[in-house]
Amino acid sequence: MTARGETDTRPTAATRRPRARLETSKEPVVGLPDSGARSDRAIKGLQGSRRPPRDGRLPHSRTARRPPIIDSKRHVRTPSRRNPTMRRRLAAWLMACAVFPFGLGIQLGAAEDWGMFRGPQGNGVAPEGSYPTAWSSTEHVVWKVKLPSPANGSPIVANGRVFVTSSADKGRERSLICFDRANGKEVWTRTERCKDEMPTHASNPYGGSTPASDGERVVVWHATAGLHAYDMAGKPVWSRDLGEFRHQWGYGTSPVIHQDRVYLHSGPGKRVFVAAFRLADGTTVWETEEPQDGNGETRADGRDMGSWSTPVVVPVDGANQLVCAMPTRLNAYDCESGKIVWSCNGLSGPNYSVVSGSPIVGDGLCVIHAGFRGPSMGIRIGGQGDITASGRLWLETRNPESISTGVLVDGHVYRANGGPGTIECVDAKTGKVLWKARAAGENYWASVILAGGHLYVTGGKGTTVVFKADPAEFAEVARNKIDEACNATPAFSDGQIFVRTFENLYCVGG
């Protein structure tokens, strides 16, 4: 590993890769309500302007994340009658709990943090505060920093730090970059090396995995370059070489931190596994090898296959289960032993066995979409063994989803589609499409996020659509453009939105 930080030895001029360049807004943040009445605002992500492989293929990485521990200087506050901000945060958290009574059992750090892919519970819900709903590449930007390379991995926010992935040397170098949340200054970068160049696609640059942090450590999955943990100062804690991971579309699954463990679905390739590691030292708790119907890239019939789905931890009947989508089915693993508790078939389509999105869970339900117009299905979580007949509520043989993951709100799934570029509302119990809207009409890879009572989704051309969670009709609130390619899901934390494009990292908000 090579390290770069405030006290690290700098690389030579011949080997130095481009540094992140910071631009801090000198203008006051105008147009936003004050801290006593901030309006909800969406963030903007983007998707690459480069087109996916033929047939629109190319999985996108999404990662579950969890917030870090409390920073005593910044985050420790006591809610009181004199602290309306904290009372609003508490109210927002209670609202999130009411919206998702099923819960996800994720042990959080600071309530304001966004420590995993798709938020603190991995379900696409921001449990805190209100967020801006209007911005651009210049308006309402707190700071902006130039990134050294494009990537699909989403930013996370933990303990006063913002983390993103990056790459160099045709993917032979995989990096984790740490920024100061307050001002966007680079704090440290840690780089791991691959022996060989691994395949990927132009729409999925290296760095497709989202880091995860509990506020004390940050874990990053670099596929062939390994699984690594660092403390918040960038000091290596442990590293695991898990072998070679090769697929024509690259990698994209993300680590999930829950309590004292890190869970990882390795993603597509000849060898597929789901494993649990100790967060403290990286030792393996359990690992399960997944059978393959084919060679890791194609099925026995020659059709494409693979799963880039990041799993979600769900409490079921007093025990935690890791729900993970495989190319043909949905599996639930016991978090303690790794044994499969139940599974449900139905994700393999006639053209592909490809899954990119994460399970959408809440209210005892799970909705999962296969990628690139494959099947989708709704499941009543629970049971033992094969629950296809007993637990599957509905099956849609062809859905418009490609890569994006929707969000479940009050029994309805709000999803954004890659191919047709539409936003839809679906009844989670029946699969019935209640409405469909063209909105910005962009190719959506980023997940739909619920924050401060609004829904946010960013299109591939950089337009973030903000709309209401209303099953009766599509009600747009705002449409915001950054005009930069991006596939990453934004991070929402303490009234601010962090948008990672192919070019820059933005902090938007108050």
What DSSP assignment string belongs to 58-98?
Answer: ----B--B---PPPTTTT-----TT-HHHHHHHHHHHHHHH
Radius of gyration of the chain (CA): 21
> What is the pTM assigned to this prediction?
0.80
Widest distance between CA atoms in the chain: 66
Q: How many CB atoms lie within 10 A of CB 437?
A: 17
What letter represents residue 397's amino acid?
T
pLDDT above 70 (res 52): no
Name the least confident of 79-93, 124-138, 157-171, 247-261.
Answer: 79-93
Say whether pLDDT at 473 is over 70: yes
Give the 3-state DSSP-derived string for 416-441, with helices as H, strands as E and coil as C.
ECCCCCCEEEEECCCCCEEEEECCCC
pLDDT tens track for 130-185: 999 999 999 999 999 999 989 899 999 999 999 999 988 887 889 999 999 999 99
Domains annotated for the chain, with CATH where assigned, are 2-8+22-76+83-509 (2.130.10.10)
Burial string for 163-186 (b: 16+ CB within 10 Å, else e) reads bbbbbbeebbbbbbbbbebeebeb
Q: CA–CA separation, 186 vs 6, rounded Å?
A: 9
Q: Average per-residue pLDDT in the chain?
A: 81
The pLDDT value recorded for residue 268 is 81
C-alpha atoms less than 13 angstroms from C-alpha of 383 in its C-beta half-sphere = 17
Q: What angle do CA 346, 62, 444 make, to 5 degrees?
A: 80
Q: Compute the average pLDDT of residues 375-400.
A: 94
pLDDT tens digits for range 325-367: 999 999 999 999 999 999 999 998 888 888 989 999 999 999 9
Instruction: Give the least confident one: 2-16, 70-84, 172-186, 270-284.
Output: 70-84
* CA dihedral sign of residues 441, 415, 464, 64: negative
Task: Give the pLDDT of residue 21.
Answer: 55
The residue ranking higher by pLDDT, 299 or 107, is 299
Inform me whether the pLDDT recorded for 250 exceeds 60.
yes
